[in-house]
């Protein structure tokens, strides 16, 4: 099977800016399946679940990841939905590995921001072909949408990861990491983009695109499922100190090898379409 069909301007925006809004790419059936999975996830948090809202504060900022193997709705979406083919088109990849999923819920009245960061320095992955599809399950007006610094994936910089809960830095760092600039203080110096989104839309962004998000002061939920994918050039690496998600202790790839493994299966190939391959 060929790559998924997307408007040329969406592909160009993703490659130029490191971020693009994709409109109407997921059906109500897929969104309903994800919504059921998120409710299951809230009832049955995984080992990496975090509550970022301090006790006594309004709302709830909940995050969890790497649950696709235990939550059947997530597993079906990650292996059978159009998402992997969309990722292949955006990356220009001949194969797509399932990297992981990340669920972020901000209930009405939540004050906590998602701090400015980019994702790849947290990951045990090197390579250019890394993309996330941020999929809202509720209408998301621009006021509660994540914001992205256009073109930041081309800055040739890897910024120090920070903990979401308190903003602290990891104790040990990759020597290439540099401090994150004060994006809020420098907003006028950057092109910062966000979107009004309807269910069925998603935001595609590169692993090095700098982004953050406001709290949710509105009277509606903001549930998002972020599906993360890697392409042809991605390799497994163990960075100094903590990584998020933590690298697998078993069934993962070798250092310096392609990600192909039971933990990061190949789920799409050019000329074939949907597959499920766990061997290197």
Tens digits of pLDDT across the chain (280 residues): 567 899 999 999 999 999 999 999 999 999 999 999 999 999 999 999 999 999 999 999 999 999 999 999 999 999 999 999 999 999 999 999 999 999 999 999 999 999 999 999 999 999 999 999 999 999 999 999 999 999 999 999 999 998 787 666 666 678 889 999 999 999 999 999 999 999 999 999 999 999 999 999 999 999 999 999 999 999 999 988 788 899 998 999 999 999 999 999 999 999 999 999 998 8
Residue count (the chain): 280
> Rounded to 10 degrees, what is the CA torsion of 242, 243, 249, 250?
-170
Paired with 258 in beta bridges are 235
What CA–CA distance (Å, rounded) separates 63 from 202?
18
pTM, 2 dp: 0.96
Side-by-side strand order, sheet with 114-117: 114-117, 211-213, 147-149, 192-193
Provide the terminal-to-terminal Cα distance of the chain, rounded to the nearest Å: 22
- CA atoms of 164 and 216, how far apart (whole Å): 16
Scanning the structure block, which residue is given the tokens 């980019």? Answer: 118
**So where are the chain's domains?**
8-277
As assigned by CATH, the class of the 8-277 domain is mainly beta
Q: In the structure encoding, which two tokens stand for residue 82, read together?
A: 């159009």
């Amino acid at each position: 099977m060929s790559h998924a069909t997307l408007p040329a301007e969406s592909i160009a925006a993703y490659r130029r800016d490191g971020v693009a809004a994709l409109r109407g790419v997921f059906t109500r059936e897929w969104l309903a399946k994800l919504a059921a999975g998120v409710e299951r996830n809230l009832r049955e948090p995984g080992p990496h679940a975090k509550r970022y809202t301090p006790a006594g504060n309004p709302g709830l900022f909940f995050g969890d990841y790497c649950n696709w193997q235990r939550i059947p709705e997530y597993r079906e979406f990650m292996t059978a939905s159009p998402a992997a083919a969309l990722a292949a088109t955006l990356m220009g990849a001949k194969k797509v590995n399932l990297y992981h999923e990340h669920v972020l819920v901000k209930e009405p009245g939540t004050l906590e921001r998602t701090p400015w960061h980019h994702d790849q320095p947290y990951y045990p992955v090197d390579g250019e072909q890394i993309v996330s599809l941020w999929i809202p399950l509720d209408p998301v007006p621009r006021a509660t949408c994540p914001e992205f610094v256009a073109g930041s994936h081309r800055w040739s910089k890897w910024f120090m990861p920070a903990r979401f809960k308190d903003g602290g830095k990891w104790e040990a760092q990759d020597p290439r990491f540099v401090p994150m600039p004060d994006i809020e203080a420098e907003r006028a110096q950057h092109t910062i983009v966000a979107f009004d989104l309807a269910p069925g839309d998603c935001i595609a962004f590169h692993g090095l695109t700098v982004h953050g998000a406001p709290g949710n002061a509105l009277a509606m939920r903001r549930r998002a499922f972020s599906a993360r994918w890697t392409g042809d050039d991605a390799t497994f690496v163990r960075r100094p100190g903590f990584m998020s998600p933590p690298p697998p202790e078993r069934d993962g790839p070798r250092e310096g090898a392609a990600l192909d493994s039971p933990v990061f299966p190949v789920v799409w190939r050019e000329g074939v379409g949907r597959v499920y391959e766990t061997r290197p």
